[in-house]
């Protein structure tokens, strides 16, 4: 694994820790590739049910590495497109992963770093963390994150974040639905661990995976197409071993071990 990322598995949680604190965990090609590889591996690892993305140092992620972006300014359009598609693939992997992914935000999450945190299924952040898309201040654009942001918080709030470009507090980020919970720094590790364990013990892994798949796919369909897709997924879920196990346990009043 890359020097920029550490991977650890504990109690069915796969921890991915951004480990480039001297650069505020900025995203460059190596960091993005390492995250893609780790997420792909953990996504098919039967010993991992929940993935947590966290970071070393005082900043969660400051977004794209500006020195790296500067080095790309002599690239052709095709070369820049190929590089941009790496980040697109990373965010798509997180959004469509069969595993539930939690971001554990111990510091500022800005630009692409804000996208990285908010594209996860759940986000926990400390009160001191700031969230924002600052790209337009330097003549860049928040292109890829916009696709997911519009889905998550709607056009009105997205316009404010993307065009105003001023960071907001963790509490405000929670209030607009960008993140889920704000917790004190000294409790962050424990609370994220406990929440992950709740999901692990309480919920079927295959049912959560199918639910995530539907969230990602159903919004692109018309009402009629969406309902037909939902009916097909409902039928698919009924045939899974987890569904059979869960219904049997419920009817026979037996505890379920997931």
Residue pLDDT, tens place only, 96-118: 999 999 999 999 999 999 999 99
Evaluate whether 104 touches 57 at the Cβ level (below 8 Å).
Answer: no
Query: Looking only at Cα atoms, what is the longest distance across the chain?
Result: 67
Active-site residue, from 33, 37, 79, 135? 135
**Nearest partner of 129 among 101, 157, 171, 164, judged by Cα:** 171
The pLDDT value recorded for residue 65 is 85
Query: Is 171 marked active-site?
Result: no
Paired tokens of 139 = 């003549």
Residue holding tokens 């095709």?
A: 78
Q: What is the pLDDT of residue 240?
A: 94
> How do strand 100-105 and strand 109-110 relate by DSSP bridges?
unpaired
Model pTM score: 0.94
User: Once rounded to an integer, what is the mean pLDDT over residues 10-34?
Assistant: 95
Q: Taking residues 43-60, what's their average pLDDT?
A: 97
81 burial (CB, 10 Å; 0-12 / 13-18 / 19+) is exposed
Band (75; pLDDT cuts 50, 70, 90): confident
Give the distance, in angstroms, between the CA of residue 233 and the centroid of all CA atoms in the same chain: 23
Mean pLDDT of 206-234: 94
What is the pLDDT confidence band of residue 80, given thresholds at 50, 70 and 90? confident
| Mean pLDDT estimate for the chain | 94
Position 223 scores a pLDDT of 93
69 pLDDT higher than 80: no
Counts for the chain of helices (H) and strands (E), in that order: 11, 9
The answer, yes or no, to whether residue 13 has pLDDT greater than 80, is: yes
Tell me the backbone φ, ψ of residue 14, rounded to 5 degrees. -100, 115
pLDDT band at 70 (very low <50, low <70, confident <90, very high): confident
Ranking 59-68, 69-78, 192-201, 231-240 by mean pLDDT, the lowest is 69-78
pLDDT confidence bin for 1, thresholds 50/70/90: low
Q: Which residues, 6+ apart, have CB-to-CB distance to 45 below 8 Å?
A: 9, 14
Segment 235-251 mean pLDDT = 92
pLDDT of residue 34: 96
Place of tokens 């951004």: 18
């Amino acid at each position: 694994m890359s020097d920029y990322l550490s991977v650890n598995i504990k109690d069915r949680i796969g921890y991915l820790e951004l480990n480039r604190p001297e650069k505020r965990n900025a995203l460059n090609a190596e960091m993005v590739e390492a995250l893609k590889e780790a997420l792909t591996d953990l996504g098919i690892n039967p010993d991992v049910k929940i993935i947590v993305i966290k970071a070393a140092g005082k900043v969660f992620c400051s977004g794209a590495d500006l020195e790296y972006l500067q080095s790309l300014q002599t690239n052709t359009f095709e070369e820049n497109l190929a590089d941009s598609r790496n980040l697109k693939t990373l965010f798509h992997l997180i959004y469509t992963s069969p595993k539930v992914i939690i971001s554990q935000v111990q510091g500022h999450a800005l630009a692409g770093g804000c996208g990285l945190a908010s594209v996860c299924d759940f986000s926990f952040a400390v009160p001191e963390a700031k969230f924002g898309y600052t790209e337009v201040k330097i003549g860049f654009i928040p292109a890829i994150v916009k696709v997911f942001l519009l889905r998550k918080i709607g056009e009105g709030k997205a316009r404010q974040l993307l065009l105003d470009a001023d960071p907001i507090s963790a509490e405000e980020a929670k209030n607009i639905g960008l993140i889920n919970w704000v917790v004190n720094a000294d409790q962050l590790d424990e609370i994220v661990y406990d929440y992950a364990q709740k999901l692990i013990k309480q919920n079927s892994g295959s049912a959560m995976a199918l639910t995530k798949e539907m969230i990602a796919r159903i919004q692109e369909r018309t009402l009629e197409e969406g309902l037909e897709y939902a009916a097909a997924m409902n039928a698919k879920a009924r045939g899974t071993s987890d569904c059979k196990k869960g219904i049997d346990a419920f009817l026979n009043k037996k505890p379920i071990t997931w």
